[in-house]
């Protein structure tokens, strides 16, 4: 069987572009995972989630309805070099095991802060409680953490309710090929064995 790999996974909630690598292209995986990415994110204001996304248990925080100007001001604070503390429900490995596995097993997980770059964060649409943004970010940026940070700045709480990766480096979703179910099952089976 030919080698099959990928250049960065997507959260279960997310859809969109995922670079699949076949044969000798698998040697480029590390380089390709470091490419900048672009996302369209749907954020729900007014509550937080234990996982930072739609899968977690929600807790209402505030019924305050921020103005568009307040939302724009919060977004502007999260552009440029940003320090993030990723969710414990991320795939970051802590002592050799993914943080989300440790967290789901009930273990207390301390996540290290990291520096990331948010090149651009733009409001696409805002009708409280839903906020849609487009984000152009460096590798390693967690969009669910950006959503939570927007909620903290607004004092409303927030979590990620939808996410689509639209670009990875120069590769765009508009040029993507959809694997058929048979191919997708074969790729998924191989990736599990890695």
* Catalytic residue ranges: 11
Two structure tokens written together for 126: 């805002």
Residues linked to residue 168 through DSSP beta bridges, in sequence order: 37, 171
Nearest CA to 166 out of 44, 25, 16 is that of: 16
Instruction: Report phi then psi at 143, rounded to 5.
Output: -70, -35
Q: Contact, 159 vs 53, CB < 8 A?
A: yes
Distance CA 52, CA 139 (A): 19
Give residues with Cβ within 8 angstroms of 52, minimum separation 6.
87, 89, 142, 144, 145, 147, 148, 159, 160
């Amino acid at each position: 069987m030919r080698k099959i790999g990928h250049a960065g996974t997507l959260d279960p909630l997310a859809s969109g572009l995922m670079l699949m690598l076949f044969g000798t292209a698998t040697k480029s995986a590390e380089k390709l995972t470091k490419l900048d990415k672009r996302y369209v994110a749907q954020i729900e204001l007014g509550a937080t989630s234990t996982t930072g996304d739609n899968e977690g248990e929600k807790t209402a925080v505030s019924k305050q309805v921020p103005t568009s100007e307040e939302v724009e001001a919060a977004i502007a604070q999260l552009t440029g070099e940003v320090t993030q503390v990723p969710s414990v429900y991320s795939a970051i490995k802590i002592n050799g095991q993914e943080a989300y596995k440790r967290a789901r097993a009930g273990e207390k997980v301390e996540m290290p802060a990291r520096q990331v770059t948010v090149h651009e964060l733009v409001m696409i649409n805002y009708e409280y409680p839903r906020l849609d943004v487009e984000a152009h970010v460096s590798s390693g940026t967690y969009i669910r953490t950006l959503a939570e940070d927007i909620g903290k700045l607004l004092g409303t709480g927030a979590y990620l309710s939808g996410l689509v990766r639209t670009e990875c480096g120069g590769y765009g979703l508009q040029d993507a090929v959809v694997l058929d179910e048979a191919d997708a099952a074969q790729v998924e089976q191989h990736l599990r064995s890695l």
